[in-house]
Amino acid sequence: MLSVLRDRTYRRLFAAQAVALTGTGLATVALSLLAYDIAGNDAGRVLGTALAIKMVAYVLVAPALGAFAARLPRRTLLVGADLTRAAVALCLPLVDQVWQVYVLIFLLQSASAAFTPVFQAAIPDVLPEERDYTRALSLSRLAYDLESLFSPALAGLLLTLVTYDRLFTGTVLGFLASAALVVSVTLPKPAAAPAAGSARTKATAGARLFLRLPPLRALLALNLAVACASALVTVNSVVYVKGVFGLSAGSLSLALGCYGAGSMAVALLLPRVLDRVPDRRVMLGGALLLTVAFAGTGAVAAGRDGSWRWPALLAAWAVFGAACSMVLTPTGRLIRRSAPPADRTAAFAAQFSLSHGCWLLTYPLAGWLGATAGLGWAVAALGALAAGAGLTAVRLWPASAQPAARDRHPAVDHERRGLAPGHPHHRVTGPIDARPGA
């Protein structure tokens, strides 16, 4: 899997992603402490509102920027987003009002909504061979999982040496390092986007692509299934650890670590699996595996006594992580195969926006139901929603609509690399592997 790092451009882009993620992780810890300094015991409300603002920025900003991103130099846009994020992080230690936190968070996350889809759309052009791109997706998944484990530990170590506001300095340095790494490479130019159409038409191009193609319609349902699982783990892990089992904060790290370990194990295995097994089977299998994890969690919530409950919860969290990784890791391959090059940035922007729209729904649902009706009802509701989404995805994505792997069909690759002018394949309209039955 590490063989893709031999490519100089990808190696530097991956390093940019890693340092930016580390900086973001430090900011998450520092922001929690800043909110407590400003709001005291009301810090939870501040952070909850900040999280909602983050999701709103992702849902609204990504499609709007995706409409015009293809017309701007990729490197300029990525570096501009990184510098914007660094400037915002530099301002965060200076705030003393809650509204200032909200404004800066919106700016920070809007810049992230500009950066991430463009970055994701560039990788398939940097690594055009599907085998290499698959390994890059697994590395990206590992980077996210390792960040969730490494950044809190690094923040804890730094807090023994400096005050929390210094953590924002690490965030600034992370974004600046990311910008420097992006500047150091030459990125392939994206395919020319259609010039015609209103701003609204361009902004909704990615969403319309998702509604038109069966695999991408199924991806909408799969996003909802994953959001149900990640919301339960993110929002209610602390409730299980502290409220149900009466365990220490270290046990919370163990529970979240099991989720990350399950995700990383699958990310390591998937490159070889996807060489032999279609994306459809892996992704739909992951969605249906989520129902097993919800069933196990429901048994834990329903149980009253027994030493089995804590190990069962850890196992369920590991299964959640594995199942989510089965769905999320091949997503880039699916979008790459389904969207024509000219629409690729818009498609990644739509995926970014629509998936976070699902989290905007499931995060409050997990928290509200868990607090008012009990954990059992939260598990039942989210589990039923995830099962329904998984079954919907199965129905929306028939086997005949599985996109064909480009590397196995080089003669009809819709990017037409190396074909002479006038070659018959230049006259094929639309992405060849997006047609039903391809």
Q: Could you tell me how far CA 315 lies from the centroid of its own chain?
A: 23
205-398: same fold as 1-190+199-203? yes
Q: How far apart (Å, rounded) are the C-alpha atoms in residues 404 and 112?
A: 31
pLDDT at 414: 39
Q: How far apart (Å, rounded) are the C-alpha atoms in residues 250 and 274?
A: 36
DSSP state for residue 277 in the 8-state scheme: S
- Evaluate if residue 86 carries a pLDDT over 60: yes
Count the Cβ atoms, other than its own, within 10 Å of residue 390: 28
Query: With helix as H, strand as E and coil as C, how does 117-162 read?
Result: HHHHHHHHHHCCCHHHHHHHHHHHHHHHHHHHHHHHHHHHHHHCCC
**pLDDT per position as a tens digit, 16-59:** 999 998 888 888 778 878 887 888 767 767 776 787 788 888 88
- Evaluate if residue 425 carries a pLDDT over 60: no
What angle do helix axes 130-159 and 249-274 make, rounded to 10 degrees?
A: 170
Closest CA to 293 of 261, 319, 311, 274: 319
Query: For residue 121, how many C-alpha atoms fall within 13 Å in the half-sphere facing its CB?
Result: 34
Predicted confidence band of residue 403 (pLDDT cuts 50, 70, 90): low
pLDDT at 337: 87
Q: Which residues contact 119 (CB under 8 A, 6 or more apart)?
A: 13, 17, 78
Tell me the helix, strand and coil percentages in the chain, rounded to 5: 80, 0, 20
Q: Which of 101-110, 178-187, 310-319, 333-342 has the lowest mean pLDDT?
A: 333-342
DSSP, collapsed to helix, strand or coil, labels residue 347 as helix
- In one-letter notation, the amino acid at residue 106 is F
- Evaluate if residue 435 carries a pLDDT over 60: no
Q: Which of 160-164, 213-217, 390-394 has the lowest mean pLDDT?
A: 160-164
Predicted confidence band of residue 388 (pLDDT cuts 50, 70, 90): very high
Q: Which of 173-187, 263-277, 307-321, 334-348 has the lowest mean pLDDT?
A: 334-348
How many helices and strands (H and E) does the chain possess? 15, 0
- Evaluate if residue 349 carries a pLDDT over 90: no
Q: How far apart (Å, rounded) are the C-alpha atoms in residues 151 and 8?
A: 26
pLDDT at 68: 65
DSSP, collapsed to helix, strand or coil, labels residue 415 as coil
**Torsion sign over Cα 63, 68, 70, 75:** negative
Pick the CATH number of 1-190+199-203 from 3.40.50.2000, 1.20.1250.20, 3.40.190.10, 3.90.850.10: 1.20.1250.20
Q: How far is CA 7 from CA 76, 123, 135, in A?
A: 21, 11, 12
Q: Could you tell me how far CA 400 lies from the centroid of its own chain?
A: 27
Higher pLDDT, 375 or 284: 284
DSSP state for residue 231 in the 8-state scheme: H
pLDDT at 235: 82
Q: How far apart (Å, rounded) are the C-alpha atoms in residues 76 and 339?
A: 24
Closest CA to 181 of 16, 419, 382: 16
pLDDT at 363: 85
Predicted confidence band of residue 13 (pLDDT cuts 50, 70, 90): very high
Average pLDDT over residues 372-397: 93
What angle do helix axes 130-159 and 8-39 make, rounded to 10 degrees?
A: 40
pLDDT at 426: 40
Average pLDDT over residues 210-226: 92
Q: How far apart (Å, rounded) are the C-alpha atoms in residues 204 and 208?
A: 6
Predicted confidence band of residue 70 (pLDDT cuts 50, 70, 90): low
pLDDT at 84: 95
* Class (C level, CATH) for 205-398: mainly alpha
pLDDT at 312: 94
Domains of the chain, residue spans: 1-190+199-203, 205-398
Retrieve residue 188's tokens: 């392939």
Please give the mean pLDDT across all residues of the chain. 82
- Evaluate if residue 128 carries a pLDDT over 80: yes
8 A C-beta contact, residue 92 and residue 30 = yes
Predicted confidence band of residue 409 (pLDDT cuts 50, 70, 90): very low
Give the distance between the most distant pair of CA atoms in the chain. Answer: 73
